[in-house]
A and B are shown apart, each in its own frame.
Chain A
Amino acid sequence: MSSMTKGMQSISFQEQPYLISSGSVVGKKEGEGPLGARFDMIDDTDQFGEKTWEAAESTMQKEACLMAIGKAGLKPQDIRYIYGGDLLRQGIATSMGVEALQIPMFGLFGACSTSGEALALSAMSVAAGYGDRILAVTSSHFGSAEKEFRFPLGYANQRPLSAQWTVTGSGAFLVGNQKSNIRISGVTIGKIVDYGLKDSQNMGACMAPAACDTVIQNFEDFGRNGEEYDHIITGDLGYVGTDILLDLVKKKGKDISAQHLDCGKLIYDQDSQDTHAGGSGCGCAATTLSAYVLPKIAAGEWKRILFVPTGALMSTVSYNEGESVPGIAHAVVLEHC
């Protein structure tokens, strides 16, 4: 087998793995948003029949996994491995969520970039012959994330306009060599990019430099321009981060303003849903990809997409200790076939 590495940070798959199926599960606010009708499952209580936010998040993951597996007409025992992660400490939402499936699993932490990390690793594993069918899953929950990173939900907290709203949702993706209309043709794995920003309430600005770095690297590695993608879709830069990304990319001599979309801007209605700078969280990119982007690729409406989920790798401890919020972004090239 000849090398599949491409440029400095990318892989171009010889046998391109298929994205076989996906599942999306969301809460009330997401269900009321512009993409509401497209999600596979909506729970208007945000609790998914559980008593705690953490358990609710785990249940979302389980449901999303079962949805993706079921759509492919398979059973959990047909899946070789899971790559999964979430925002909570020790990745507990994933551990509890996928336990019932009894599929061998790798736990990941990439903050909100986890969907990209999991998809990249799944595609790499399939391309390398380590498994025929591999599941990538991630989630976030507004309740558990607020509790972990900010304040109790009932607290009269004042959110700045740059703050983003953590999406309650989980997305699962089945990658393998079973034919579908979507292939993962390549990936670009991002570096930690840290411009020293210390504002955890402006995560779009913390992540935008990482998104820029990965997008530019993808262009260089594959010898492409923005025009060669129907869309370049970032995970959760939101309104502030998007403006910054477009500026940063321009400074590098490229222009992606015509192709760029952001899941954080797509998932909520900016005029009526009062999220301030848009959506965020692992679930933001994952559910938007599953419910909105993939169907368009499958239908052939979009031929080639660069999906770039972005993560703000924040720890509440290091943040209190005065450290900055480092960013990361991974790019996955999705193509209609």
Chain B
Amino acid sequence: MGQTLEEKQKKEKAYQQYVKEKTPQHNVFVNMVKAFIIGGIICVIGQMILNYCKGIGLDQTQSGSWTSLILVLLSVLLTGFNLYPGIAKWGGAGALVPITGFANSVASPAIEYKKEGQVFGIGCKIFTIAGPVILYGIFTSWLLGLVYFILMKVGVQI
């Protein structure tokens, strides 16, 4: 009312700036330390599984696959028992970035949307969070493959 678009935008920008100053933020350094600890623990567990698999005579690829599978299973179980959100609350990205975080992002919609049915619930919504990661992950690998193909064609040795 009575104000031009420019004035409105200026007012909005000033408010956004003001809100930014007023809003408390997580301490990035503390978050990083916590993420390092939790992420580190998950990786150590992974390394232990890997070492064990190699110890019983599996090769590198097989041991790697078993490690991923077991970590995913552990994460899904912890999500099912509602323990994973607590770990992630403390550990932040340390719990989100490893494969266990990905498993949590698939298991949690499956649990939540089960009530909406096997098809429209679990079927349609299981990848609501992980979907973008899968789509853009595959797209990025396709893009890199294309670059690799072109470089090969022009005779660049990689």
Contact = CB atoms under 8 A, between A and B. Distances in A.
A147 B13 CA distance: 31
B91 to A, nearest CB: 9
**Majority DSSP secondary structure for residues of B touching A:** helix
B95 A244 contact: no
Contact of B112 (A152, A158, A197, A199): A152
B82 interface: yes
Interface in A121-158: 147, 151-158
Contacts of A252: none
A162 B96 contact: no
B24 A162 contact: yes
B112 A154 contact: yes
Contact of A202 (B9, B23, B89, B112): B23
B109 A155 contact: yes
Interface centre among A155, A160, A161, A199 (most CB of B within 10 A): A155
Interface string A215-249: 00000000000000000000000001001100100
Q: Interface majority SS on A: helix, strand, loop or mixed?
A: loop
A196 B5 CA distance: 12
Contact of A158 (B8, B13, B19, B92): B92
A195 B11 contact: yes
Given A154-B112, A156-B87, A197 B26 contact: no
B108 A153 contact: yes
A243 B9 CA distance: 23
A197 B112 CA distance: 30
Contacts of A247: 22
Interface stretch (B59-67, B99-107, B148-156): B99-107
A330 to B, nearest CB: 20
Interface residues of B, number: 37
B84 A197 contact: no
A57 to B, nearest CB: 13
B129 A240 contact: no
A205 B109 CA distance: 29
A319 to B, nearest CB: 16
Contacts of A158: 88-89, 92-93, 96
A162 B108 contact: no
Given A158-B92, A161-B23, A162-B23, A195 B15 contact: yes
A209 interface: yes
Nearest to A151: B129
A200 to B, nearest CB: 13
A195 B92 contact: no
Interface string B123-158: 000000100000000000000000000000000000
Contact of B105 (A156, A195, A243): A156
Nearest to A153: B112
Contacts of B111: 152, 154
B19 A154 contact: no
6 tightest A-B CB contacts, nearest first = A156-B88, A196-B12, A152-B112, A154-B108, A155-B108, A152-B108
9 contacts: A153-B85, A153-B108, A154-B111, A156-B84, A156-B101, A195-B15, A197-B12, A202-B19, A247-B22
Interface of B: 8-9, 11-13, 15-16, 18-19, 22-26, 79-80, 82, 84-85, 87-89, 92-93, 95-96, 101, 104-105, 107-109, 111-113, 115, 129
Given A158-B96, A160-B26, 17 more contacts: A147-B112, A152-B111, A152-B129, A153-B82, A154-B107, A155-B85, A155-B104, A155-B108, A155-B129, A156-B105, A158-B93, A161-B24, A196-B13, A197-B12, A205-B22, A240-B24, A247-B22
